[in-house]
Amino acid sequence: MARGAFWDCQAFKGRHGVGLLTAGFILAIMILPTVTSLSRDIMAVVPNTLKEGALALGATHWEMIRSTVLPYSWPGIIGALMLGLGRALGETIAVTMVIGNRPEVSVSLFAPGHSMASVIANEFTEATSHLYLSALSEIGFLLFVVTALFSLLSRWLVVRLMTRAGREE
């Protein structure tokens, strides 16, 4: 296969990296620092007595992490993931630049699309009628409701995991 022949195939003709998959990668890269720093801080507050107890019982360093640190900090790690996903849900500009802004639903991840935040960002300056502004305001309200429900669901999940682990907040 000649150099560059892979990118010359029909699947990539006319594509410039714009689409749903690109937006997903950008959001994953954006939330990664948030999730990792919160998870690291959560694992750092595991009591030393638990860690030392596992090591004293003959566990290796990795066994201590797997059997002591992760179960103790699991609810907090789930909370960090939910916080990162909630942040990605409302992201506007990064998604608007790479999603393609096409108001069609497609099966392919390589196809352009729309997100609620990108619709508001793209069309707010063009909204001249009262109905148009009302529709964009309703999209914003729905985005708020979805984000709030996601936040409540993540809070419920963290509380449920903490009570299952036998700890109270």
* H-helix or E-strand spanning residue 40: helix 20-44
> Average pLDDT for residues 112-131, to the nearest whole number?
84
pTM over the 0.85 mark: no
pLDDT in tens, 26-51: 888 988 998 999 899 889 888 899 99
Contacts 24+ apart (CB under 8 A), 100-109: 100/18, 100/19, 100/20, 106/20, 108/19, 109/19, 109/20, 109/21, 109/24
Whether residue 17 is predicted with pLDDT greater than 70 in this model: the reply is no
Given a cut of 90, whether residue 141 has pLDDT beyond it is yes
All domains of the chain in start order, with CATH: 18-100+109-164 (1.10.3720.10)
Helix (DSSP H) and strand (DSSP E) numbers for the chain: 7, 0
Structure-derived torsion over alpha carbons of residues 132, 135, 140, 141, reported in degrees to the nearest 10? 140
Sign of CA dihedral 143, 144, 149, 154: positive
- Say how far apart CA 91 and CA 84 lie, in whole Å: 11
Which residue is listed with tokens 């009570």?
163
Residue 169 to residue 166: CA distance in whole angstroms: 10
75 — pLDDT class (breaks 50, 70, 90): confident
Q: Looking at residues 112-136, what average pLDDT do you find?
A: 85
